[in-house]
Amino acid sequence: MDAATPLIDATFWITCGAILILLVCSGFFSGSETALTAASRGKLRAQADRGQRGAQQALAITEDNERLIGSVLLGNNLVNILATSLATALFTRLFGESGVALATVVMTLLVLIFAEVLPKTYAITNAETAAAIVARPIGLVVTIFAPVVTAVRWLVRGVLRLFGVQTDPDAHFLAVREEIAGALQLGHSEGVVEKEDRDRILGALDLSDRFVEEIMLHRSQIEMINADDEPAAILAQCLESPHTRLPVFRNDPENIIGLIHAKDLLRAMHAMMFGPDATPEGLRSFAIANVAMEPYFIPETTTLDDQMREFLRRRTHFALVVDEYGALQGLITLEDILEEIVGEITDEFDRHEDSQVRRAEDGAFIVDGAMTIRDLNRATDWALPDDEANTIAGLVIHEAQTIPTTGQVFSFHGFRFEVLARKDNRITRLKMRPL
């Protein structure tokens, strides 16, 4: 009679070793998936710029997230299934038919603790460091599994197409701008990011989506110099104005012939009165058109980002905005664009009464009708829509579908609007209160 075959032999230990190795591989795949998907591409880019090869490889393989996740899941499932199969065979040999249930319980606990929770917890805590470490071996896995993953991807897309679901392999779930905006909003709500810092960053990101017509000074508010005025009157107007640059027109305000800088004007007048070529006539023969610079016109559909770059390229700060017919609509300066980033810029020449929004004693807000909705939202942290109008007066007119009279009250978008003043067809002052 043959001796009974021992249950714990070399095969037993080899199987246990194989299961242990497969669990380590499973943990590696699980942690790698979490690290590479949770790692900030911005931080990886910063590390890559400092010469870290692991970060460079992590950036490269995360360019195609679908292929990366497919390869990691394929590898993870292969090792998990193989480990479970070996464990079932081992426990069946030891405990008979009851070994199947026992193997299921034991492997579930081992995979859950050591191949899922533990590696993923570490990976999400040290995402960028872990991503740089695993990038090279995962890149090799992606290359090896590429044919299988590609076939699976096409199969999945075909099945989804049968149900009317279209997939774009190059589409990102969130645009970079939306990711940054979401992170800033979350940081602000948690008290980590200050409101001013959030507004500055979002203001800079929005420049390419906004147009000069949204922030320009309307033509009705532009201070101009009449070229036909007496030189003394021109000098007095220039000295009294809070602006250093003023458009010059002749006959009709639409006929802009130039742009005068206060320094150029004073320099030219000083030369005519006290310079070597001074004449007894003094300022009488002064012609402002000879001193004025050529006007710079731009279309109202120019984006703020493009216009800022153009200002820097041309080394100028001032532009006149025209519509598609060439009619003057307003003016814009480099300072106007910078204010969209840093907020209102004031100096010693700005009058306090020019403030466009102030708090009344009853808690309501007194708002200038010409104030843009974006500036109001920024000043008060409100969220009034600016899709249909640029200014707060324009929003009231749009919602009322008429030009309101003084004293009329409206309620929409969660606010109460009262028209305090109106000039001609323009609403000049409003009282607002959140409902």
Nearest-angstrom CA–CA distance, 72 and 406: 67
- DSSP-derived pairing of the beta strands 297-299 and 318-322: parallel
CA-wise closest residue to 320 among 216, 207, 210: 216
Q: Give the count of beta carbons closer than 10 Å to the beta carbon of residue 370.
A: 19
Distant-in-sequence contacts of 180-185, Cβ < 8 A, 24+ apart: 180/205, 181/205
Nearest-angstrom CA–CA distance, 168 and 185: 28
Q: What is the pLDDT of residue 83?
A: 93
Going residue by residue through the chain, which has 435 residues, state the pLDDT in tens, using 9 for 90 and above: 444 456 677 888 999 999 999 999 999 999 999 999 889 888 888 898 998 899 999 999 988 888 898 999 999 999 999 999 999 999 998 888 888 899 999 999 999 999 999 999 999 999 999 999 999 999 999 999 999 988 988 888 888 888 887 766 555 544 577 778 888 888 888 888 888 888 888 888 889 888 999 899 989 889 999 999 998 899 999 999 988 999 999 999 999 999 999 999 999 888 888 877 776 666 777 889 889 999 999 999 999 999 999 999 999 999 999 999 989 999 999 999 998 888 877 766 665 545 788 888 888 999 998 888 888 888 888 889 888 888 899 999 999 998 999 999 999 899 999 999 998 888 999 999 998
- Any idea what DSSP says for residue 134? H
CA-wise closest residue to 395 among 406, 383, 380: 383
- DSSP-derived pairing of the beta strands 328-333 and 318-322: antiparallel
Nearest-angstrom CA–CA distance, 248 and 256: 6
Q: What is the pLDDT of residue 432?
A: 93
Write down the residue that tokens 């700060």 correspond to: 317
Q: E strand or H helix at 247, and its extent?
A: strand 245-250
What is the Cα Rg of the chain in Å? Answer: 35
Nearest-angstrom CA–CA distance, 37 and 67: 12
Q: Is 253 helix (H, G, I), strand (E, B) or coil?
A: strand
Q: What is the pLDDT of residue 171?
A: 53
Instruction: Calculate the alpha carbon distances from 35 to 129, 132, 261 in Å.
Output: 8, 9, 58
- DSSP-derived pairing of the beta strands 357-359 and 365-368: antiparallel
> Domains (ranges, CATH) in the chain?
10-163 (no CATH), 185-214+296-345 (3.90.1280.20), 223-288 (3.10.580.10), 357-434 (3.30.465.10)
- Residue pair 57/32 in contact (Cβ under 8 Å)? The answer is no
Please report the sign of the dihedral spanned by the C-alpha atoms of residue 237, residue 238, residue 241, residue 246: positive
- State CA 86 to chain mean position distance: 52
Q: What is the pLDDT of residue 362?
A: 87
Per-residue 3-state assignment (H helix, E strand, C coil) for 23-45: HHHHHHHHHHHHHHHHCCHHHHH
Nearest-angstrom CA–CA distance, 303 and 299: 10
Per-residue 3-state assignment (H helix, E strand, C coil) for 351-403: CHHHCCEEECCCCCEEEECCCEHHHHHHHHCCCCCCCCCCEHHHHHHHHHCCC
Q: Give the count of beta carbons closer than 10 Å to the beta carbon of residue 6.
A: 9
